[in-house]
Structure 1
Amino acid sequence: MGGNLLALLIGFSILLGGSPAWASPLEQRLELWPNWTLPAPLSRPSSRDDLIYPQWFQGRWEVQSVDLDDLDQPAITHEARFISDSQNRLVGDRAFNANAIGRALLGEQLLRVEDDPKSSNRQMAQLTGDRRLETTVTGRQQQSPNSDTFLADELVLQILHAPGPPRLSQVETLSRYQRCGSGICAEQWQGVYPPPGEKLRDSVQSSHHYQLRFTPLPASAPST
């Protein structure tokens, strides 16, 4: 009877649209999308903090991203690379990855992307037309519910420096990665907020939903 009662309670919770009490903070955050608000339940990273990936991200990948809100748009394809840092933690090769994504999205408008040598959470992208895009991670949370699943949520502050006043925005991206054979399957949920300081509680202005597929490139098969 105990098992039947548990199943009934779980089913009742799902019907009510709620999360089981043991759902992780990021799983609970996901259930709220796209009705996110700030402040979010994310920790503010120090200059040395970084997003630490499971070992099965090791190597170089071809990443294909599909916008699930606009399936008429072609998929975006770029490379991604994950490397060990000075503390032997697996992290994204941030400048390489940002350059690859930026080239796929902006083409020749992107000149280069540089990491801040003093912080793992800040980058500067140089664009044509004397424009610079400064990106700083202001909040982060990551979890591994099991050995084949990885969730990460990051909030970034973007400042576009261009002729005229700078333009600010905040973007939160929650990603769920799962091992799929030799590759990685992923979904991303994104919310764009107004500049900080306008309201005590910011609501999402626009939302996006993406599906990603990581395919290992030659000589970079994932660890087993």
Structure 2
Amino acid sequence: MAATLLGTILAILLALPVAAAPGTVVQERLSSWPQWRLPVPLPRPGRGDLIYPHWFAGAWEVTSHSLEGDTATPAGPAQEPPLHYRVDFIADRRGRIVGARAANAAAIGRAVLGHRLVSVEDDPANPNRQLARLRDGSLLETRVIGRQVLTLPPDQFLADELSLQVLHGEAAPRVSRVEVLSHYQLEADGTIRGEQWLATYPSPTEGLMASPRSLAQYELRLVPLRPQSGPAS
């Protein structure tokens, strides 16, 4: 079983192209939604992190709601309540702005899963690998295997990431692929407006060419959190 899983991971990694023209994949994916398919020519990220524009620096309160089933009429289907969580973006050792990946993933995971999520850990040797521990004892391993970003004036940022997810538990590991395309716009009032498109694909053992098993779309609003004054030390 371990050899089969390793072969699966190596197959999808080797199938990804080494490079793609800057921004072309992101633009194509944005215009072709929801007609997405794999493979997608996203460059391999290696051990490089996702770098954000400087205006992401700081802590933010996020409100996210699903656009699934939205209609133009007030009589449209009832929507799920929006999710609320906090995310942080910090400077790395080179002064570049990166997400606090484990903390951000844990905040989103708890908003979605509640007490079923125990913890999220970063791989100290690779910013593109995370481990999420669940209450039932299973372990979700996520590895970013493809990424491309695009910055557009004025103050727009897009990022497309493809991840390989392996759920380890008592049964045989379950493998899937997840693609998330994010579009952010800095507003005049200092908030950030965002939209995300998400597709989940089957395991590469079912073929490197694949159509999504599920699609989702979200609207985000990030409001900056200003530090509260505390007692003097």
What residue number does 2:88 align with? 81
Alignment RMSD (CA, Å): 1.4
> Given that residues 161 and 181 in structure 2 are in contact (C-alpha distance below 8 angstroms), is that contact kept between their aligned partners in structure 1?
yes
Deviation per CA, 1:105-160, whole angstroms, max 9, x where unpaired? Answer: 11111111100011010000111111111110010000102141000000011111
Corresponding residue SS for 1:50? coil
What residue number does 1:103 align with? 110
- In 2, Cα distance between equivalents of 1:33 and 1:132: 31
Residue type matched to 1:77 in 2?
A: H
- State how many pairs are aligned: 197
Q: How does 1:154-169 map to 2 (within 5 A)?
A: 154-169=161-176
Query: Which among 79, 92, 95 is matched to residue 99 of structure 2?
Result: 92
- For the pair 1:129 / 2:136, whether they are aligned, the reply is yes
- In 1, Cα distance between equivalents of 2:96 and 2:224: 20
What residue number does 2:18 align with? none
Deviation per CA, 1:67-114, whole angstroms, max 9, x where unpaired? Answer: 000552000000000001112110000111011111111111111110
Structure 2: stretches of 5+ with no match in the other structure: 1-22, 70-77, 229-233
Structure 1: stretches of 5+ with no match in the other structure: 1-22
> Given that residues 165 and 177 in structure 2 are in contact (C-alpha distance below 8 angstroms), is that contact kept between their aligned partners in structure 1?
yes
> Given that residues 81 and 93 in structure 1 are in contact (C-alpha distance below 8 angstroms), is that contact kept between their aligned partners in structure 2?
yes
- In 1, Cα distance between equivalents of 2:30 and 2:45: 21
- In 2, Cα distance between equivalents of 1:204 and 1:72: 22
- In 1, Cα distance between equivalents of 2:224 and 2:155: 16
Query: Sequence identity, in percent?
Result: 49
- In 1, Cα distance between equivalents of 2:185 and 2:59: 17
Corresponding residue SS for 1:202? coil
* TM-score (norm. length: structure 1): 0.84
What residue number does 2:54 align with? 55
What residue number does 1:39 align with? 39
Shift of 1:167: 1.0
> Given that residues 201 and 212 in structure 2 are in contact (C-alpha distance below 8 angstroms), is that contact kept between their aligned partners in structure 1?
yes
> Given that residues 131 and 161 in structure 1 are in contact (C-alpha distance below 8 angstroms), is that contact kept between their aligned partners in structure 2?
yes
> Is 173-182 or 69-78 further displaced after alignment?
69-78
- In 2, Cα distance between equivalents of 1:206 and 1:111: 25
- In 2, Cα distance between equivalents of 1:121 and 1:196: 19
Deviating runs (4+, > 3 A) in structure 1?
none
Query: Which among 117, 128, 146 is matched to residue 124 of structure 2?
Result: 117
Residue type matched to 2:193 in 1?
A: C
- In 2, Cα distance between equivalents of 1:132 and 1:42: 26
Query: Which among 196, 201, 209 is matched to residue 201 of structure 1?
Result: 209
Shift of 1:24: 4.1
- In 2, Cα distance between equivalents of 1:162 and 1:25: 35
What residue number does 1:66 align with? 65
- In 2, Cα distance between equivalents of 1:216 and 1:61: 4
What residue number does 1:9 align with? none
> Given that residues 25 and 42 in structure 2 are in contact (C-alpha distance below 8 angstroms), is that contact kept between their aligned partners in structure 1?
no
